[in-house]
Structure 1
Amino acid sequence: MNQERVFKVLLGPHVTEKAAMAAERNQYVFKVADDATKPEIKVAVQELFGKKVDSVQVLNIKGKTKRSANGLGQRKGYRKAYVTLAAGETLEDFSGAE
């Protein structure tokens, strides 16, 4: 995978309480591009952070339906990936992401 694609696959960390709890189990959560595949996400994390990735799980989050004076609208959905690192690996950069 070329270097340009690596930077387009991972859009950034997804920082929530649930993501912080997952980090204790050696899982890290990232917002990823809509067309990113599991192998691409795995390679991107390994190249950017230099850590060995054990597994990748991907979720598609639907945008909420919101009501306004103009009727119903739809927020934009996104895609996120739970990346599990190999035993003994951690992301120090990730802890202070917020």
Structure 2
Amino acid sequence: MADLKYYDVIQKPIVTEKSMASMEEKKYTFAVHPDATKSQVKEAVEKLFDGTKVSKVNTMNCDGKTRRRGRTQGKTAKYKKAIVQLTEDSKDIEIFEGL
């Protein structure tokens, strides 16, 4: 297992219609490091964003899509996605405000 620091775990937020709709339930979606565990994701969110308290984390490995360009065929990069559920009394994450 990789020795990951908390600032290496979360790579970027994922902004889609579905992820924006789930923000009402205090669920936030992030692209995370492929070797990150649920406990590492929880620790990273609580340290990076002040006042947040994570209640649960769901992770999923997403395979790359097959793409064609003429005759040649290839795949896009695979990635890991985490959906973070915050507790009711925790603050919202500032990155997603105003979107």
TM-score tier after normalising by the smaller chain length:
0.7 to 0.9
When residues 74 and 18 of structure 1 are mapped into structure 2, their CA distance, relative to the original with a 3 A threshold, is same
Gap runs ≥5 in structure 2? none
Question: Across the two proteins, how many residue pairs are aligned to each other?
Answer: 95
TM-score, normalization by structure 2 = 0.86
When residues 5 and 92 of structure 1 are mapped into structure 2, their CA distance, relative to the original with a 3 A threshold, is closer
Q: Which residue of 1 aligns with 2:20?
A: 20
When residues 40 and 24 of structure 1 are mapped into structure 2, their CA distance, relative to the original with a 3 A threshold, is same
Superposition pairs of residues 77-96 of structure 1, within 5 angstroms? 77-96=78-97
Q: Percent identity?
A: 35
TM-score, normalization by structure 1 = 0.87
- 1:7-66 CA deviation, whole Å, 9 max, x = no partner? 100001111111101111110001100100000000000111131100000011111101
**Aligned partners of 1:15 and 1:97 also within 8 Å:** no
Q: Distance in 2 between matches of 1:26 and 1:84?
A: 6
Q: Distance in 1 between matches of 2:37 and 2:59?
A: 8
Indicate the structure with greater helix content: 1
> 1:90, CA displacement in angstroms?
3.4
Q: Which residue of 1 aligns with 2:39?
A: 39
